[in-house]
């Protein structure tokens, strides 16, 4: 394994590390895990979005998503009238997606490791932008080639109420507030649980303004 430059937590005492909160059998919430490097992340994110702008993709059913999306890494998640899938090309530019910067892949790797998932090397980072009112209905993530790897998420900007459901759409959901800098890791049996995000409320985040950005790191290919 290549050495990580994201060794911020390596020489800290355990009690100084962000605490891990178990939210499912194999799911963990790391409150504020990304805060120590968030000022470095924001310009990196801006550069990705300059090369691959956020856009409102169309679902197979013909509806425009309220969430704006883009990607970096080898594969990016897309949707259009012909379906949901991963693509190595950004349909907007016809070019490969921007590379996934090391600071992002390392952050995801370290978060996964903290949650007990060794050797997580994501090949895809989906960037979701929520403005007030935007939401994500309950769904499962099934477009990845394999489900053995966890999914790691990073929340930035305005808070969101995350819905963590069961294995059937109508199972009762837990509501978990996700705040700026929080990271969540979903693996194993929890990987195929239904989940969603309630409509984002109005507000101003000091660094991101009136929006929430969520990054999800995946092994898609
Ligand atoms: C739980 N995004 O992009 S992050 C998605 O906040 C998505 O933007 C939400 O759901 C967001 O597909 C939630 C987290 C997430 C991603 C995948 C999961 C949670 C998950 C897969 C299984 C269980
Ligand atoms: Fe999802």
Domains by residue range for the chain, with CATH: 20-218 (2.60.120.590)
pLDDT (0 to 100) of residue 146: 87
What is the 219 CA–ligand 2 centroid distance (Å)? Answer: 13
Tell me the per-residue pLDDT of 198-210, one tens digit each, with 9 for 90 and over: 999 999 999 999 9
Query: pLDDT band at residue 1, thresholds of 50, 70 and 90?
Result: very low
151 lines ligand 1 (CB under 6 A): yes
Assess whether pLDDT exceeds 70 at residue 168.
yes
Atom of ligand 1 nearest to the CA of 141: 21
**Ligand 1 pocket: which of 150, 151, 152 to mutate (most atoms within 8 A of CB):** 151
Query: pLDDT band at residue 147, thresholds of 50, 70 and 90?
Result: confident
What is the 109 CA–ligand 1 centroid distance (Å)? Answer: 17
pLDDT (0 to 100) of residue 2: 43
33 lines ligand 1 (CB under 6 A): no
Assess whether pLDDT exceeds 50 at residue 65.
yes
Contacts from 136-141 at CB under 8 Å and sequence distance 24+? 136/67, 136/196, 136/197, 137/196, 138/163, 138/165, 138/169, 138/173, 138/194, 138/195, 138/196, 139/194, 139/195, 139/196, 140/192, 140/193, 140/194, 140/195, 141/191, 141/192, 141/195, 141/218
pLDDT (0 to 100) of residue 3: 42
Identify the CA nearest to 150 among candidates 40, 46, 25, 50: 25
125 lines ligand 1 (CB under 6 A): no
Query: pLDDT band at residue 6, thresholds of 50, 70 and 90?
Result: low
Which pTM does this prediction carry? Answer: 0.93
pLDDT (0 to 100) of residue 17: 67
Q: Whose CA is nearest to atom 8 of ligand 1?
A: 214
Tell me the per-residue pLDDT of 55-64, one tens digit each, with 9 for 90 and over: 999 999 999 9
pLDDT (0 to 100) of residue 200: 98
pLDDT (0 to 100) of residue 16: 59
Tell me the per-residue pLDDT of 118-143, one tens digit each, with 9 for 90 and over: 999 999 999 999 999 999 999 999 98
CA angle at residue 4 from 105 to 87, to 5 degrees? 20
Average pLDDT, the chain: 93
Of 10 and 145, the structure prediction assigns the larger pLDDT to 145
Atom of ligand 1 nearest to the CA of 160: 6
């Amino acid at each position: 394994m290549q050495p990580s430059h994201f060794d911020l937590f390596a020489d800290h005492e355990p009690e100084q590390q962000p605490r891990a909160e178990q939210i499912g059998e194999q799911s963990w919430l790391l409150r504020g895990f990304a805060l120590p490097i968030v000022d470095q992340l924001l310009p990196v994110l801006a550069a990705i979005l300059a090369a691959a702008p956020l856009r409102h993709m169309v679902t197979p059913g013909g509806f425009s998503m309220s969430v704006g999306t883009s990607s970096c890494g080898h594969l990016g998640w897309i949707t259009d009238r012909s379906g949901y899938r991963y693509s190595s090309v950004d349909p907007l530019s016809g070019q490969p997606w921007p590379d996934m910067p090391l600071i992002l892949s390392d952050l995801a790797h370290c978060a996964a490791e903290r949650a007990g998932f060794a050797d997580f090397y994501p090949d895809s980072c989906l960037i979701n932008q929520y403005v007030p009112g935007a939401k994500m209905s309950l769904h499962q993530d099934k477009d990845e080639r394999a489900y053995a790897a966890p999914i790691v998420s990073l929340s930035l900007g305005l808070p969101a109420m995350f819905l963590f459901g069961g294995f059937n759409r109508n199972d009762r959901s837990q509501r978990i507030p996700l705040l700026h800098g929080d990271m969540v890791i979903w693996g194993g049996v929890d990987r195929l649980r239904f989940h969603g995000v309630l409509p984002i409320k109005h507000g101003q985040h000091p660094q991101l303004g009136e929006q929430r950005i969520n990054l999800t790191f995946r092994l898609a290919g």
